[in-house]
Amino acid sequence: GTVIAGGPHFNNTRDELLHHCDLPFVMYGECEISFTDFVVKCLKNESVEDVPNLIYRRNGQIVINPAAPDNKDLDSLPFPDLSLGKPSDYEYLFGLHNRVTSIMVSRGCPYVCTFCDVVSVWGRAMRKRSASNVVDELEFNIEKFGIKEFIFKDSVFTLNYKWMDAFLDEIKRRKLDIVWHCNTRVDRVNKKLLERMKDAGLRVV
């Protein structure tokens, strides 16, 4: 089978791994479409040398292909199919429920915190899924997998107050009985927002 590595680490290190091991392929950047293209070409025994975001060897030399443009329409991405894992894959030591899953609603961050490298992964410009699309995913996981606890992995979940209002309104409108966790900055919350978040199921920031 074909072995390929990928993930946030390679947005900075790019070809470094290939200098230290015989791994044939690495992908960097946003690869939903590029990786699909890579898999299809492998299955058809076609050349993968023109696949965007791909790092590989050609005649002993390491080649880094240009990245495809970032996805501006995050609502177009399908929800992860958690049925491909086992129930134990979604256990969480600090959860209230026995099954928990993580969700990302945005890409990009305008801040320059010295301890964080998220900009190398997603860039500065904030791109966000619609509030209704995110709550659709919550309902999808509740109905299909019985998951009622969620961890939002975005660096600054509450960056956009207008989006937060729409998200919280949508949870209330659909009467979702959920628990959730998120990350944010201390200067991107206020008492009123925190109270609304708590009422909508927020447990941990």
- The per-residue pLDDT for 98 is 87
Question: Quick one: angle between helices 131-145 and 161-173, nearest 10?
Answer: 40
**pLDDT of 27 over the 90 cut:** yes
Closest CA to 53 of 15, 79, 22, 1: 15
Residue type, 17: L
Split at pLDDT 50, 70, 90, the class of 172 is very high
Percent over 70 (pLDDT), the chain: 100
Contact 62, 15 (CB under 8 A): yes
